[in-house]
């Protein structure tokens, strides 16, 4: 699949940053507003898929390889599971906690001040303990995973004989 | 009737019996079962009441997905990982 016409490329150039910002907003505000890592990651991945459709899979494969996307996806998964296991390990740091898998160890304590607050009403972004961090991890995972799927399928089914613009 | 068809008929009969009994045992639509009448309302009311103090998140759905039911989200992430791995393995030959 080669690139599409100049009109489509121009519209993509205008719409792409807006889609990116909206998706990253949904990921970053996952603990305050509707949405979260999965949904925001899907928005960002569909923006990247729009770029892929407009500019063609060969051009996109020149910019980013699917191996790099696999590394990013694995980083997201490792971050997610690592945060889950830190919930168990935190029992060695504060003795008053009972360690659990997926324990929210950043809330309701005073050792680590980051993300310590409790959100009520229109809350700040530094609330809710490990939930925003898990949102970022899952968002990275969904972005890289969905874009890797679309990129590999588009590149594998490209027309061989067509001259690339 | 061949042996394979006979096994298929037996399997179908077992599945059909399970489906019929499962349908007979289902709760009426929109109501709790008789034995669970007390427990389920308590649980969702507990989540609605205690989400903000326990997890600190305003968004109750995210609090349930990433905190109360984090193990379920781990399974979803595993499903996504498996899908990506399968697609990349499947299309590796076609790429060249």
DSSP-derived secondary structure for A40-79: HHHHHHHHHHHHHHHH-HHHHHHH--HHHHHHHHHHHHHH
Structural domain includes residue A22: yes
Residue B75 CB coordination number (10 Å): 10
Total domains, chain A:
1
- The whole-number mean pLDDT for each consecutive block of 10 residues of chain B, a chain of 96 residues, reads 89 94 79 63 76 79 83 88 88 69
DSSP string, A89-146: HGGGT-TTPPP-TT--TTSS-SSS-TT-B---SS--SSBSTTHHHHHHHHHHHHHHHH
pTM of the predicted model as reported, rounded to 2 decimal places: 0.75
A127 Cβ under 8 Å from any chain B Cβ: yes
pLDDT computed for residue A160 by the predictor: 66
**pLDDT tens-digit readout, A23-82:** 999 998 888 888 888 899 999 999 999 988 898 888 888 888 878 888 888 898 899 888
Residue in chain B lying closest to A67 (CA): B88
Contact (CB<8Å) A121/B58: yes
Range of the domain at A57: 6-156
**pLDDT tens-digit readout, A4-14:** 788 888 999 99
Tokens of B74: 């781990």
Note whether B95 and A155 are within 8 A (CB). Answer: yes
Contact (CB<8Å) A145/B95: no
Contact (CB<8Å) B66/A131: yes
End-to-end CA distance of chain A: 10
Structural domain includes residue A72: yes
pLDDT computed for residue B16 by the predictor: 95
B25 in helix, strand or coil? coil
């Amino acid at each position: 699949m080669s690139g599409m016409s100049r009109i489509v490329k121009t519209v993509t150039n205008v719409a792409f940053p807006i889609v990116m910002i909206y998706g990253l907003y949904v990921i970053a505000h996952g603990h305050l507003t509707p949405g979260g890592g999965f949904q925001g990651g899907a928005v960002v991945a569909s923006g990247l898929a729009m770029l892929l459709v407009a500019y063609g899979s060969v051009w996109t494969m020149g910019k980013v390889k699917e191996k790099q996307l696999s590394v990013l996806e694995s980083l997201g998964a490792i971050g997610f599971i690592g945060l889950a296991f830190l919930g168990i390990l935190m029992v060695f740091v504060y003795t008053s906690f009972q360690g659990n898998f997926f324990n929210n160890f950043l809330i309701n304590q005073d050792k680590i001040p980051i993300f310590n607050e409790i959100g009520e009403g229109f809350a700040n972004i530094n609330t809710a303990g490990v939930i925003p961090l898990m949102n970022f991890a899952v968002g990275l995972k969904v972005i890289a995973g969905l874009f890797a799927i679309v990129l590999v399928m588009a590149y594998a089914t490209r027309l061989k004989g067509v001259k690339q613009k | 009737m061949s042996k394979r068809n006979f096994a298929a008929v037996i399997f179908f009969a077992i599945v059909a019996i399970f489906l019929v009994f499962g349908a007979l045992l289902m709760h009426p639509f929109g109501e709790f079962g008789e034995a669970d009448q007390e427990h389920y309302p308590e649980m969702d009311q507990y989540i609605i009441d205690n989400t903000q103090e326990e997890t600190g998140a305003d968004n109750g759905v995210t609090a349930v997905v990433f905190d109360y039911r984090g193990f379920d989200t781990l399974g979803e992430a595993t499903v996504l990982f498996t899908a990506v791995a399968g697609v990349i393995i499947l299309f590796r030959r076609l790429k060249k």
